[in-house]
Amino acid sequence: ALACARADTMLWGRDPGTVAQINTQRLNARYLPGISLPLRLQASHDFEAAVAHAQGDKGLIILGVPVAGMADTCARLAQQLAQSAQPAPAIIWTCKGFHHDTGQLPHEIAQAAFASQPDTRLGVLSGPSFAREVALGLPVALTVASRQAETAQRVIAVMHGELARIYSSTDVIGVEVGGALKNIMAIACGVSDGLGLGTNARAALITRGLAEMQRLGLAMGGQAETFAGLTGLGDLVLTATGDLSRNRKVGLAIGAGKTLTQALEGGVTAEGARCAQAALALGARFGVDLPITEAVCRVLFDSMAPREAVSRLLAREARPESPYRPPS
């Protein structure tokens, strides 16, 4: 995305074969097959060299690792930046989910890693954005959320332009909870579509999934309007309906009768499956009812038949659509 925005970009990659393929053939056959990568994109297998490329007062590092890789990657980064005399780059992540064991949001993981460097500029970049469409140069709108205006401005300065509209927000919690919950809802919609329950059911899941996202997000400290924005409703609609979504694909496979292990074959990154149990635990901790998340957990981890989970959701007691407000 950075290179498409015409910024000189260095990609750190763990697989030397992929790094060589990007540098010599302008291809990344595993992740972005058939796409010719911009000349401004270089790749390196050397973490230290890749970080050094981004140092300076206008530097920007985007961490494109899953939630499970955040703590290690941030710790490595913090160690290198602490030893450098150069101005530190701003650090942004794209991951969407909760830490599987602790329920931490990505910003909490990052803050812990940079605890001894409290001036580090940190933020999250989120919103409806299938990587493949971004790499094809198709238009996209995203939100960068940070508690420091300067961090959001740095991302906007580099990325906002012809193809990408970058909005800013200070609601880091709301943005991150939206990203985490929309993946779980995409699995639910995939299951429903895999069972052939129709578009009415999918619309119901999206709408009630949004209510669930908002309930948890508000309880955790997010702001109501964030959930109606790109990183909430926007990404929920994309991921619940777009067939490029891996979370939706996992749901579709399970709705069609596969097990979770079969659906994740080949190491598919489906953050909704990785963090659904942590989301449920957060719901319990904050006293928030998360019926769709609970149904997804039962199906993924407790062998509940998808049809049984749907019946249980439908059989829940009737209630007002919005929290009760007395007539004025």
Ligand X SMILES: O=C(CO)COP(=O)(O)O
Q: Summarize the annotated binding site as residue ranges.
A: 14, 31, 96, 127, 129, 131, 182, 235, 245-247, 271
Q: Contacts with ligand X in 229-268 (CB under 6 A)?
A: 235, 238-239, 245-247
Stretches 69-77, 84-92, 219-227, 292-300: which one binds ligand NAI (CB under 6 A)? Answer: 69-77
Looking at beta carbons only, is 142 or 205 nearer to ligand NAI?
142
CB of 261 to ligand NAI, least distance (A): 17
Q: Contacts with ligand NAI in 14-43 (CB under 6 A)?
A: 14
96 touches ligand X by CB under 6 A: yes
Angle at 249 between CA 261 and CA 1, to 5 degrees: 115
Q: Burial letters for 235-253: b for 16+ Cβ neighbours within 10 Å, e otherwise?
A: bbbbbbbeeebbbbbbbbb
Q: Which does 89 bind (CB under 5 to 8 A by kind): ligand NAI, ligand X, none?
A: none
CB of 135 to ligand X, least distance (A): 13
Angle at 41 between CA 57 and CA 56, to 5 degrees: 10
95 touches ligand NAI by CB under 6 A: yes
CB of 323 to ligand NAI, least distance (A): 30
150 touches ligand NAI by CB under 6 A: no
The count of chain residues that interact with ligand X, using the rule CB under 6 A, is 13
265 touches ligand NAI by CB under 6 A: no
Q: Which does 95 bind (CB under 5 to 8 A by kind): ligand NAI, ligand X, none?
A: ligand NAI
Distance CA 260, CA 64 (A): 24
Distance CA 8, CA 166 (A): 19
User: Across-strand partners of 166?
Assistant: 142
CB of 11 to ligand NAI, least distance (A): 9
Q: What is the dihedral of CA 266, 269, 270, 272, to 10 degrees?
A: 140
Q: Which does 245 bind (CB under 5 to 8 A by kind): ligand NAI, ligand X, none?
A: ligand X
Q: Contacts with ligand X in 263-322 (CB under 6 A)?
A: 271
> First and final CA of the chain: distance in angstroms?
50
Closest CA to 184 of 271, 254, 285, 246: 271
Distance CA 137, CA 247 (A): 23
Residue length of the chain = 328
129 touches ligand X by CB under 6 A: yes
